[in-house]
Amino acid sequence: MVNEHPVPPFLEWWQAATLHWLLIVGGLALLLTLGGLLVVTLERGPGAAFSKLAGLLLSGAKDLLLLSPRRVWALTWLAVKESIRRRVVVAFAVFVVVLLFAGWFLDPSSHHPGRLYMDVVLSATSYLVLLLALFLSALSLPNDIRNRTLHTVVTKPVRPSEIVLGRMIGFTIVGTVLLGVMCLLSYGFVVRGLSHSHTIDAADVTRLEKAAAIMHEGKLDAQTVRDKKDGDSVIYSRPKLDLQTTRDQGHRHRFQVDPNLATRSRTIHLDEEAGHTHDLSYTIRRSTDASGKAVAKLDYTLGPPRGALVARVPIYGKLMFRDRSGIDAERGINTGDEWTYRSFIQGGTQAAAIWTFDLDPRQFPREVPVEMNIGVFRTYKGNIEKGVLGSLAVRNPKNGLTVEVEIFESMEFAVKKVALPRKIVNYSSKQFIARKTPTPRGMVISPPPGQFDPALLKKTEFDLFRDLSDNGRFEVWLRCLEPAQYFGAAQPDLYIRAGDASFELNFVKAYLGIWMQMVLMIAFGVMFSTFLSGPVALTATLGALVGGLFNDFMTQLAHHQVVGGGPTEALVRILKQQNVVTELDPGLGTTVVKVLLDKPAELFLRLMSSILPSFGDFGYAGFVAYGYNVDLNMLAVHLVTTFSFLVPLFIAGYFFLKTREIAR
Amino acid sequence: MQPDTVIETRSLSKVYRDFWGRQKVRALKALDLEIRRGEIFGLLGPNGSGKTTTMKLLLGLLFPTSGQALVFGNDATEVTKNERIGYLPEESYLYRFLNAEETLDFYGKLFNMPAEVRRQRVGKLIEMVGLSGAKRRQLKEYSKGMTRRIGLAQALINDPELVLLDEPTSGLDPIGTRDMKDLILNLKKQGKTVVMCSHLLADVQDVCDRIGILYQGELKELGRVDSLLKVRDETDIRATGLSPAAVEEVQQVIVKHGGTVKFVGNPTTTLEDLFLHIIAQSEARPGRRVRGGAGDGQ
């Protein structure tokens, strides 16, 4: 799964974030205060302006601190009532209709039906709930002001802060209840849509029963059964029958059954298909019929799909690259893609992508499950049916011992699973590799030359943690083996699957993400509606949402990370049909465009990208649909971010409402 | 400011401006006003004379362009003054999706009243304004008169010391008007201060102690109703049981003393009195057409 914005650990994040928050909120507050002072000074002179400011700050502190819970609750209740009157249920009805008919158009036989179903319900929910939040929050206060119903409210001892807070809480309650119900319905829809069962293909059942009957007579046994000693345990290697299930929901599963061992009741997993497997429990009863002929009868039950709805808990490593000449680099090669998420390594050279992990050996007593999803870039087509060959090696960062554990064919667009056993006996090569890192003081080689112990290479069996890691820290090296082909990697592309979290909880987390978006939307809507008329407040809130969604792009524009220059320069290029890489002709026009127009635009963009929340980051649909756990660290960072927006929005809303005339 | 002054304005002015800050209307020009505890004060004036603007300035719904509006000695924009104020807006701007009980309960909560007090007060007020039969109906189903009544009830939910009524009798039928006027007088009896504005002169005359007349934002007249309306060089004599000869004799006496007789005849009643009388009669004896009026000697 693509994760372009990994969230930093909360404890590292909060200090810098708090500072940034204080800077932005303080700066904006100062700006607004100075603006207000200027306006009042022009109208009534500086004395009046300062006394007004002092009065405002004093009453502001009182109004914000001395909130009456009963009044806030009364206004909250009013907002809830109003929402119900304004037919919130319509949004809900639309959602139900979407669910009813989505079933017709969603193809359960698609490659990943789980992703499809979850994408549909999560996007339907978020669009509907966000639209609803937008309309409720941005139109409520302006309506009350226009209908003058607010006159009877503000002439009671109600503080403007209570009006703003009551509205924010009220609409949040409505949205939360709605989201809760939608979450339940969606869960039912996804589970029901994906649930299916198979039966074993009728011809295969006959085949199996025949084989079992023959074995019962002892005809096959003598020729095929071979016992192999392996330590204390005996592994039976017998001719297994390849069987398959019927095709249901567009796929069938394959599996193998040993006809001879089938007499005892057993349970096996079918081969994974369409992102899931099933449990098969079976027994074969053997008997002799009236004529003395051996007969066998297969009894089996095939369970529901397993593994379609998962929440994998990944442990991510730190990614570094090694270039084709074997020197460490921050990034690999750019193969010409504008999207620089993945960096590429060249096949058949010393180039590698290196992930460093830090694990606790106690957590992985038997094996370390690695999953990867790597990009492939072909410079020649080759055999397009076949994947590009690559290898995976484990290296001890302390002594440089490297053991190549797996050679594989890349599976594009699919997760490849490799289990690194604790005891490594099967490997394709073992060698010593030193890493060369360029630093300002020259090349640092680790481990330093001459420090490698050649005895290490004599071993034939390696323990993953004892031999190949330095106190739990080890490196996983990905290399492309075919010359002139490339592998692309980003940090989240290779991870260790530490286990699975509850899918249900993960599903709820996706709704928590939508909830955060909704709460932010409501806060923006209510804040804008304290000083703008209905349609304008609506547009402004929508603007905040769209701006927030394009926050990354704005940041990149403001920091010159987008080719083609600022907004005006881009416009000039469009009009002159000039491409984005050639410089504009130097001259007065270009200077005006670049300095007079684009510099202020840049400042504005920088400010906006700081003020607006990145709504997109709160959408966890990708995580949940692709089966990755939304970790608590990310949730904590996002929840704190949400609340850090709510407080200034509430205070701003209060001051706007306080300083405006309710009547006209 | 004297201790029993409830409202005081000092050269209160309001200029409405457009979006660009250009002056549109001078709605109120340097109003100086003082209203004492326990009086019923009426603001009179044609449409657009600044009555409602004054009211809104006193409530803090508008901010003065210059001058000051003080209510209970505090600035009118101060929220705490609202604890002691009841306000009935020109039209009852209430939430139409609530019913009478919910409405009053909601406003009660805004006064931070505990549930028990609220329940008692809501019941009493619904009874008082005569909406017991309709207390569970949503306000959007109410007639204009009923809306007015529930509006009045919400203005009195906190048992206010000062009641501001904007066109209290507008939209009411004559009985409703009478009830409203009785109620205003009743409030005065309880020692409350009432400020009302209206362009229905008869209503103001009936209940107000003092009036101010506004025209184009300026205060044109201010004083006690009885003294303002008194025609000092005319005398009104009313009597019953006089024969035409006796009337003739009285006229001669007047002429003898150098006076001029301007009118002799039977006084007419007001239409309001006639209407109320007919309704009262109809209720006493249903089914019969009532003849005559209040002045027919009964």
Q: What residue type is assigned to position A650 of the chain?
A: F
Domain boundaries, given as residue ranges, for chain A: 10-195+502-663, 202-302, 314-500
Q: What is the pLDDT of residue A229?
A: 40
Q: Strands A318-322 and A352-358, how do they pair?
A: antiparallel
- Rg value, chain A, Cα: 32
Name the CA dihedral angle for B182, B187, B191, B196, rounded to a multiple of 10 degrees: -100
Cβ-based neighbour number of residue A11 at 10 Å = 9
Lowest mean pLDDT among A87-96, A123-132, A484-493, B276-285: B276-285
Could you tell me what percent of chain A has a pLDDT over 70? Answer: 95
Which residue of B56, B61, B97 is in closest CB contact with A85? Answer: B97
The answer to whether the Cβ–Cβ distance between A157 and B106 falls below 8 Å is no
Q: State the nearest Cα–Cα gap between A642 and chain B, in angstroms.
A: 29
Coil, helix or strand at residue A34:
helix
- Determine contact, residues A484/A476, Cβ cutoff 8 Å: no
Interface of A with B (CB under 8 A): 63, 68, 70-71, 73-75, 77-78, 81-82, 85, 147-159, 661-663
* Residue A322 confidence class, pLDDT cut points 50, 70, 90: very high
- Determine contact, residues A176/A129, Cβ cutoff 8 Å: no
Which residue of A147, A148, A156 is in closest CB contact with B110? Answer: A156
Number of cross-chain residue pairs from A and B with Cβ atoms under 8 Å apart: 74
The answer to whether the Cβ–Cβ distance between B79 and A81 falls below 8 Å is no
Q: What is the pLDDT of residue A163?
A: 95
Question: What is the rounded CA–CA span in Å between residue A69 and residue A215?
Answer: 80
Which helix (DSSP H) or strand (DSSP E) does residue A7 occupy?
A: none
In the predicted model, is pLDDT for residue A225 greater than 50?
A: no
Mean pLDDT value across residues A181-186: 93
Question: What is the rounded CA–CA span in Å between residue A344 and residue A487?
Answer: 5
- Determine contact, residues A628/A117, Cβ cutoff 8 Å: no
**Chain A interface mutation, best of B61, B71, B82, highest count of A Cβ atoms under 10 Å:** B61
Closest CA to A157 of B8, B84, B101, B73: B84
Torsion sign, CA atoms A49, A51, A52, A56: positive
* Residue A227 confidence class, pLDDT cut points 50, 70, 90: very low
Report the side by side order of strands in the sheet with A494-501.
A311-316, A494-501, A367-372, A416-421
Q: Strands B74-75 and B66-71, how do they pair?
A: antiparallel
Residue B154 at interface with chain A, using a CB cutoff of 8 Å: yes
Q: What is the 3-state secondary structure (H, E, C) of chain B?
A: CCCCEEEEEEEEEEEEECCCCCEEEEEEEEEEEEEECCCEEEEECCCCCCHHHHHHHHHCCCCCCEEEEEECCEECCCHHHHHHEEEECCCCCCCCCCEHHHHHHHHHHHCCCCHHHHHHHHHHHHHHCCCHHHCCCEHHHCCHHHHHHHHHHHHCCCCCCEEEEECCCCCCCHHHHHHHHHHHHHHHHCCCEEEEEECCHHHHHHHCCEEEEEECCEEEEEEEHHHHHCCCCCCCCCCCCCCHHHHHHHHHHHHHCCCCCCCCCCCCCCHHHHHHHHHHHHHHCCCCCCCCCCCCCC
Q: What is the pLDDT of residue A15?
A: 93
pLDDT tens-place string over residues A215-224: 766 554 433 4
For residue A447, is the peptide bond before it cis, meaning its omega torsion is within 30 degrees of 0? Answer: yes
Q: State the nearest Cα–Cα gap between B63 and chain A, in angstroms.
A: 6
The CATH class that applies to domain A314-500 reads mainly beta
Residue B15 at interface with chain A, using a CB cutoff of 8 Å: no
The answer to whether the Cβ–Cβ distance between B62 and A148 falls below 8 Å is no
The answer to whether the Cβ–Cβ distance between A157 and B93 falls below 8 Å is no
Which residue of B63, B109, B154 is in closest CB contact with A71? Answer: B109
CA atoms within 13 A on the CB side of A588: 0
Question: What is the rounded CA–CA span in Å between residue A26 and residue A168?
Answer: 23
Token match 């709160």: residue? A618
Token match 């660009």: residue? B20
- Determine contact, residues A615/A548, Cβ cutoff 8 Å: yes
The answer to whether the Cβ–Cβ distance between B94 and A149 falls below 8 Å is yes
The answer to whether the Cβ–Cβ distance between B112 and A68 falls below 8 Å is yes
The answer to whether the Cβ–Cβ distance between A81 and B97 falls below 8 Å is yes
Which residue of B63, B85, B106 is in closest CB contact with A155? Answer: B85
pLDDT tens-place string over residues A545-584: 999 999 888 888 888 888 888 888 889 889 988 888 888 8
CB contacts of A77 in chain B (<8 Å) are 106
Q: What is the pLDDT of residue B287?
A: 67
pLDDT tens-place string over residues A59-82: 899 888 888 999 999 999 999 998
The answer to whether the Cβ–Cβ distance between A663 and B56 falls below 8 Å is yes
**Chain B interface mutation, best of A63, A152, A163, highest count of B Cβ atoms under 10 Å:** A152
Cα A562 to chain centroid distance, Å, stands at: 24
Give the chain B residue nearest A84 (alpha carbons). Answer: B97
In the predicted model, is pLDDT for residue A235 greater than 50?
A: no
Token match 């039912």: residue? A188
Tokens found for residue A71? 């009044």
Mean pLDDT value across residues A209-216: 75
Closest CA to A308 of A385, A253, A238: A253
Question: What is the rounded CA–CA span in Å between residue A442 and residue A445?
Answer: 10
Coil, helix or strand at residue A487:
strand
For B:81-120, CB contacts with A below 8 A are 82-83, 85, 87, 89, 91-95, 97-98, 106-107, 109-112
Which residue of A77, A81, A152 is in closest CB contact with B89? Answer: A152
Q: State the nearest Cα–Cα gap between B20 and chain A, in angstroms.
A: 13
Give the chain B residue nearest A67 (alpha carbons). Answer: B112
CB contacts of B106 in chain A (<8 Å) are 74, 77-78
Which residues lie below 8 Å from residue A458, measured CB to CB, with a gap of 6+?
Answer: none
Q: Strands A401-409 and A429-432, how do they pair?
A: antiparallel
Tokens found for residue A566? 């600022």
Coil, helix or strand at residue A449:
coil
pLDDT tens-place string over residues A591-620: 888 888 888 988 888 888 888 998 888 889
Torsion sign, CA atoms A80, A81, A87, A93: positive
Question: What is the rounded CA–CA span in Å between residue A624 and residue A504?
Answer: 10
Q: State the nearest Cα–Cα gap between A370 and chain B, in angstroms.
A: 60
- Determine contact, residues A114/A190, Cβ cutoff 8 Å: yes
Q: What is the pLDDT of residue B297?
A: 40
Coil, helix or strand at residue A372:
strand
Question: What is the rounded CA–CA span in Å between residue A175 and residue A134?
Answer: 11
The answer to whether the Cβ–Cβ distance between B111 and A156 falls below 8 Å is yes
Q: State the nearest Cα–Cα gap between A653 and chain B, in angstroms.
A: 17
Query: With a cut of 50, which residues of chain B have pLDDT below it?
Result: 293-298
- Determine contact, residues B161/B190, Cβ cutoff 8 Å: no
Coil, helix or strand at residue A301:
strand
Backbone angles phi, psi at B225, to 5 degrees: -60, -45
- With 0-12 / 13-18 / 19 or more C-beta atoms within 10 angstroms meaning exposed / middle / buried, residue A28 is middle
Q: What is the pLDDT of residue A657?
A: 93
Closest CA to A77 of A181, A162, A179: A162
- Determine contact, residues A86/A172, Cβ cutoff 8 Å: no
**Chain B interface mutation, best of A42, A73, A150, A155, highest count of B Cβ atoms under 10 Å:** A155
The answer to whether the Cβ–Cβ distance between B80 and A157 falls below 8 Å is yes
In the predicted model, is pLDDT for residue A475 greater than 80?
A: yes
Could you tell me what percent of chain A has a pLDDT over 90? Answer: 36
Mean pLDDT value across residues A125-130: 91
The answer to whether the Cβ–Cβ distance between B112 and A71 falls below 8 Å is yes
Residues written for chain A: 664
Coil, helix or strand at residue A423:
strand
Backbone angles phi, psi at A423, to 5 degrees: -100, 110
Tokens found for residue B202? 């008869």
Q: State the nearest Cα–Cα gap between A652 and chain B, in angstroms.
A: 19
Which residue of A151, A158, A159 is in closest CB contact with B89? Answer: A151
The answer to whether the Cβ–Cβ distance between B82 and A157 falls below 8 Å is yes
Q: State the nearest Cα–Cα gap between A55 and chain B, in angstroms.
A: 11
Token match 């029993």: residue? B4
pLDDT tens-place string over residues A406-464: 898 887 767 788 888 888 888 888 889 889 999 898 888 888 888 788 888 888 888 88
ipTM rounded to 2 decimals = 0.84
- Rg value, chain B, Cα: 23
Lowest mean pLDDT among A277-291, A310-324, B117-131: A277-291
Question: What is the rounded CA–CA span in Å between residue A25 and residue A505?
Answer: 34
pLDDT tens-place string over residues A15-47: 999 999 999 999 999 998 999 899 889 888 888
Cα B86 to chain centroid distance, Å, stands at: 13
**Chain B interface mutation, best of A156, A536, A662, highest count of B Cβ atoms under 10 Å:** A156
Q: What residue type is assigned to position A61 of the chain?
A: A
Strand partners, B81: none
